[in-house]
Structure 1
Amino acid sequence: MKKEKKSFSMPDMYIIIFFVVMLAALLTYVVPQGYFATEDISYEVAGEEKTKTVIVEDSFQYVTDDDGNPVKQGVKLFASGGENQGFLNYMFEGLVTGDKNGSAVGIIAFLLVIGGAFGIVLSTGSVEAGISKMIVKMKGKEILLIPVLFLLFSLGGAVFGMGEEAIPFVLIVVPMTVAMGYDAIVGIMITYCATQIGFATSWMNPFSVAVAQGISQIPVMSGAGLRIIMWIVFNIVSIVFTIMYAKKIKKNPELSVSYESDEFYRKDLESNMGKDIKFGIGDTLIILDIVITLIWVVWGVIKKGYYIPEIATQFFTMGIIAGIIGLVFKLNNTTLNSIALSFRNGSKDLLTAALVIGMAQGIILVLGGTDPAQGTVLNTILFKTSGLIAGLPQALSAWIMYIFQSIFNFFVVSGSGQAALTMPIMAPLADLTGVSRQVAVLAFQLGDGLTNLIVPTSGLLIAVLGAARMDWNRWAKFQVKFQLILFVLASIFMFLAVAIGYQ
């Protein structure tokens, strides 16, 4: 008798995070706690003065006991009454971390509101009808959408740090790419991935480059020449990669790692095949509602500095208007109760992603949080790792800075947050190794931005995957190849920057 081959099954995302939290908890028993002195610095961006709390150079100290020995304080299994984080507390505490402007609780609320709003919009059937109409017009030319959309989203990431704003687009673009014979991965690549490529290679991103340069005390927005070239190269390579992948999937859809999860979209398409899909005045108004909202969001982000609370409310408004239009024009038999049900179902679709975001935040909490002035294991890891770079050759030092920033991004995925924690250490460290501070900033932005495409602790990535109905395991299986390409490109630019004396 033939023995059945046992195939390896990738653990669920919840299981992966659980074991990472467990590893973080074990580290607290062997790594002593440390902290830094901090200070507020100011810098200018586009003529506007900004301030940021940063680490003071050479200020690291261990938390010590009465005898002067470094303290190792392992987390408890369970904590109560405002005690330090407990291992089993990571789920709830992770979910309620932060405030409405970010971290876990803000992003989770953002997701649920966005999901509900688009649940109403999609229930009208207008988006589906619009996609069908566009596919007919684009027949044979679908591939042209890939470079056009990729560059638009990449510019959004480069110019104003587009990130969370990509989630609503994923809800629209992914069904479109599946309908065109591609898969959800293509939809994510030309939306979210494009924004992060732009974010990582930007010459003017106010949330990463500007903050890092201000903290490093070099002219803000300086060194744009090499970064613009880098943006062009990364976009060309990424677009070519996406087009080649898209063509392969169109030829054989079953090769896609998202083939099973894309079944939801395919069934929806099949259920409407043969139907005479009409696109009337009501449908036109729904599409107009979406377009106006997107323009409103972009305007608000660029001109008014809108962030998570305002953007969520803008899309909530879009959902209400879509519901009213659906009622008036009786789109897809819309009723008051069906609007409420659609909102509830839309929010439910992103609930899994919301839970993962909270769980991932628990990793950071177990390590003590990201406050540099508090005694934490994470601060000690930061200090010890940075010390390994001193004394190495210039090119190798710069490259290891990039590697370090890439790894550290697993723990602190916020661009400005990572800059505040690492650049006060990396900038003077660059001076010691003979590398320019501009190169240290380049290492930061590449390490921070590119790994946003794969680290499971990124709430934004998990939200995007949730919107596309894909789990992280499948995404990581695809993304590993792309990450390797990005890693090689980033390494080349790091070595090039040192060789030309990038200032």
Structure 2
Amino acid sequence: MSVENKTKEQRKNKSWQMPDTYVIIFFVVLFAALLTYLIPVGQFETKDITYVYKGVEKSRTVPIPESFKILTDDNGNSVKNGIKWFEPGGGVGIVNYAFEGLVSGSKWGSAVGVVAFILVIGGAFGIILRTGAVETGMMAMIKKTKGAESAIIPILFALFSIGGAVFGMGEEAIPFAMILVPILIGMGYDGITGIMITYTATQIGFATSWMNPFSVAIAQGVSGVPVMSGAGVRFSLWVFFTTIGIIYTWRYAKKIKKDPTLSLSYESDKQYREDFKNKENIEVKFEMGHKLILLTVFLGMIWVIYGVMKYEYYLPEIATQFFVMGIVSGVIGIIFNLNNMRLNDIASSFREGAKDLLGAALVVGMAKGIILVLGGSDPTTPTVLNTVLHGIGNTIGSLPAAVSAWFMFVFQSVFNFFVVSGSGQAALTMPLMAPLADLVGVTRQVAVLAFQLGDGFTNLIVPTSGCLMGMLAVARLDWSKWAKFQLKFQGILFVLSSIVMILAVMIGYN
């Protein structure tokens, strides 16, 4: 490249830079604040819906669509709760969004529960990685699988997709990515391939699941649809979209294997790549201590999966399971003197591991701040979000059947930016979408499908997803670069999902 061309390229790079995730969230907060001055606040009354899942009666509190009303003052004028710039006394103002977002929720969900989960997972794997067992096992595996690396991609993708479909695997994929991303980069692929095989696969499974208790069961139960009905069509969709994901990932990985510099994560993969090169020609001694730690991780993963499927373990239990894995691995590392490990190294490596995922944890709190600025997601509290939800519902209800079904899908896709919890989004939106389906002449099963596809696939790109940001932190990849890569794949998923929604209406999917 000539000096003149280099100068032009440098000017181009300086003139435009994709905003950081924190910057994007800040401007979304400002936009949300503006909406509080433009849109009146509204509220719903609620009721408890019960449904049966696996022979057990469960319940959810949901809004009553026809109970919606705009809050008015003494003169009968609609009320707009324009948010203040700063709010003392623990209130929510525009500049309070980061702190209030981080301390909101409970240990069972966003934001404080997810933040704690991410930090504990990071710390636990910091200990495991400090022992050197993972990289030693990685080197041994790479040497044994030379020439057959490409077979790993479809197998792992399908397995993670099954995890997403069967028990809603999402956050649980973060520790797997901590192991697989370095391995795949060492094999000549990149961090993006690692995220596609782990996180993308789980969300494809999540979006097309026929039995996920955290999305399908709740959405169907809330909508008055027999729980786990329509499984045949959903299973076919899972096979179809999983196959699409495997082909797309395999073709991309093959291209990167041929020329790694084509990867958007080429720079961020540098440290992993250099670590591999430095150890490539070193004789690997895969000793008993290494094997015991990998066995601990393997058994720990089985414990997690069993707990989620059998007892519906969630953030507190899963975080504790990984914490135990980390401590046990650290003790084994000390006993077998792996990487000259000492007692204090357990503490320091836990701290370093948590620090690596701190950025992702902060995003979770900041993203929750957007909802707080809009007034929160409680249907009984007068908020902008409730008014928007009701208004969009009325708009969709006035459209033809096929168009309404498609708009339900689009609405769920957009709404997922604000409420990334699958169960939370189902409880908020399905009580409105299910009656609307009756009104426009589509089945409630179609409305549930719109929720699934819209919620699941956009999890792959929304920067408000703590799980996605945790994955990107593991791969050391900026959200902007991931989004640039994801846009094409999101386009494919959007077009195919749109076709699926129209076909579902045409066949009267029930």
Counterpart-to-counterpart distance in 2, 1:68 and 1:366: 25
Query: What amino acid does structure 2 have at the position aligned with 1:70?
Result: S
Query: What amino acid does structure 2 have at the position aligned with 1:116?
Result: G
Q: Does 1:6 align with 2:18?
A: no
Counterpart-to-counterpart distance in 2, 1:151 and 1:167: 17
Equivalences for residues 300-379 of structure 1 within 5 A: 300-379=307-386
Partner residue, 1:117: 124
Equivalences for residues 350-429 of structure 1 within 5 A: 350-429=357-436
Partner residue, 1:53: 61
Q: Does 1:38 align with 2:11?
A: no
For 1:43, what is the secondary structure of its paired residue? strand
Counterpart-to-counterpart distance in 2, 1:204 and 1:276: 46
Counterpart-to-counterpart distance in 2, 1:422 and 1:40: 15
> How far does residue 391 in structure 1 lie from its aligned partner after superposition?
2.4
Counterpart-to-counterpart distance in 1, 2:310 and 2:435: 35
For 2:61, what is the secondary structure of its paired residue? strand
Q: How many residues align?
A: 502
Partner residue, 2:496: 489
- For residues 186-214 of structure 1, give each alpha carbon's deviation from its aligned partner in whole angstroms, at most 9, with x where no partner exists: 11111111111001001111111111111
For 1:389, what is the secondary structure of its paired residue? helix
Query: What amino acid does structure 2 have at the position aligned with 1:162?
Result: M
For 1:271, what is the secondary structure of its paired residue? helix
Query: Which segments of structure 1 move beyond 4 Å, counting only runs of 4 or more?
Result: none
Counterpart-to-counterpart distance in 2, 1:323 and 1:347: 15
Are the equivalent residues in 1 in contact too, given 2:139–2:280 (CA < 8 A)?
no
Equivalences for residues 430-469 of structure 1 within 5 A: 430-469=437-476
- For residues 87-126 of structure 1, give each alpha carbon's deviation from its aligned partner in whole angstroms, at most 9, with x where no partner exists: 0000100111111111011111111111111111111111
Partner residue, 2:133: 126
Partner residue, 1:68: 76
Counterpart-to-counterpart distance in 1, 2:62 and 2:422: 14
> How far does residue 270 in structure 1 lie from its aligned partner after superposition?
2.2
> How far does residue 57 in structure 1 lie from its aligned partner after superposition?
2.7
For 2:289, what is the secondary structure of its paired residue? helix
Are the equivalent residues in 1 in contact too, given 2:364–2:465 (CA < 8 A)?
yes
Q: Does 1:201 align with 2:208?
A: yes
The answer for unaligned runs of 5 or more in structure 2 is none
> How far does residue 407 in structure 1 lie from its aligned partner after superposition?
0.5
Are the equivalent residues in 1 in contact too, given 2:177–2:195 (CA < 8 A)?
yes
Counterpart-to-counterpart distance in 2, 1:98 and 1:57: 25
Partner residue, 1:217: 224
> How far does residue 274 in structure 1 lie from its aligned partner after superposition?
2.2
Query: What amino acid does structure 2 have at the position aligned with 1:326?
Result: G
Partner residue, 2:481: 474
Partner residue, 2:87: 79
Taking structure 1 as the reference length, what is the TM-score of the superposition? 0.98
Partner residue, 2:160: 153
For 1:272, what is the secondary structure of its paired residue? helix
The answer for unaligned runs of 5 or more in structure 1 is none
For 2:28, what is the secondary structure of its paired residue? helix
Taking structure 2 as the reference length, what is the TM-score of the superposition? 0.97
Correspondence for 1:144 among 146, 151, 166: 151
Q: Does 1:23 align with 2:45?
A: no
Counterpart-to-counterpart distance in 2, 1:82 and 1:263: 43
Query: What amino acid does structure 2 have at the position aligned with 1:95?
Result: L
Query: What amino acid does structure 1 have at the position aligned with 2:65?
Result: E
Query: What amino acid does structure 2 have at the position aligned with 1:392?
Result: L
- For residues 235-292 of structure 1, give each alpha carbon's deviation from its aligned partner in whole angstroms, at most 9, with x where no partner exists: 1111000000000111111111111111121121122232212101111111111101
Query: What amino acid does structure 2 have at the position aligned with 1:382?
Result: L
Are the equivalent residues in 1 in contact too, given 2:220–2:226 (CA < 8 A)?
yes
Query: What amino acid does structure 2 have at the position aligned with 1:496?
Result: L
> How far does residue 466 in structure 1 lie from its aligned partner after superposition?
1.2
Partner residue, 1:99: 106
